[in-house]
Amino acid sequence: MSLALERVTLSLASRRLLGPLDLSVAAGEVVTVMGSSGSGKSTLLAFVSGALDPAFRAGGRVRLDGRDLTGVPAERRRLGLLFQDPLLFPHLSVGENLAFGIPRGVPRRQRRARVAAALAEADMAGFETRDPATLSGGQAARAALMRVLLAEPRALLLDEPFARLDVALRARVRAFVFDHIAARGLPTLLVTHDPEDAQGTVVRLA
């Protein structure tokens, strides 16, 4: 699997935010895009994911395994997203949150088994019925990652996913996330303003 951006440009009104940008992300690789607030980092991920606000103008191509995703609806791009906040649904249990990521058509028994295996992998075995509000910051972050992985994405987009964690917890969650990326061979695009989060190739925006 690979993710490629080809001559990508982003503009707001008459102001160019970034580009032209070319980059390639191999299977299991993390490419980090760094820049200050307003440099277009999150807007770039929105473009790649297919959720760019129509106020912005974009040019260039996004390819996943050679397939041109430009114009493909967001829900059909098979891209997983992690944000600063875990965004767990408060009205669902932890187990139901994870099950939400599983593709449709999977039988109920298999869904339960996949959720249980994911929670065990996140060192949260038996948390199926827990209220998300009772989770620690690290547990919520791990649950959010497992929900994304259960959706079987072909690549990951990370939008400052460690920014809300304290320093000690941040290092542990960062290692957890990057270990799973490597194990699954997922090409990953990370945007951050923190040099400690940077992995692999680093692209700096003005």
Secondary structure class of 49 (helix, strand, coil) = helix
Segment 151-201, tens digit of pLDDT: 999 999 999 999 889 888 899 999 999 999 999 999 999 999 888 888 878
Residue 39 pLDDT > 90 = no
In this predicted structure, what is the pLDDT of residue 141? 95
> Which domains does the chain carry?
2-91+138-204 (3.40.50.300)
Segment 56-87, tens digit of pLDDT: 999 999 999 999 998 899 999 999 999 999 99
In a 13 Å sphere around the CA of 175, the CA atoms on its Cβ side amount to 5
Q: Which are the contacts of 109, defined by CB distance < 8 A and separation ≥ 6?
A: none
In this structure, what is the dihedral angle of CA atoms 88, 90, 41, 26, given to the nearest 10 degrees?
10
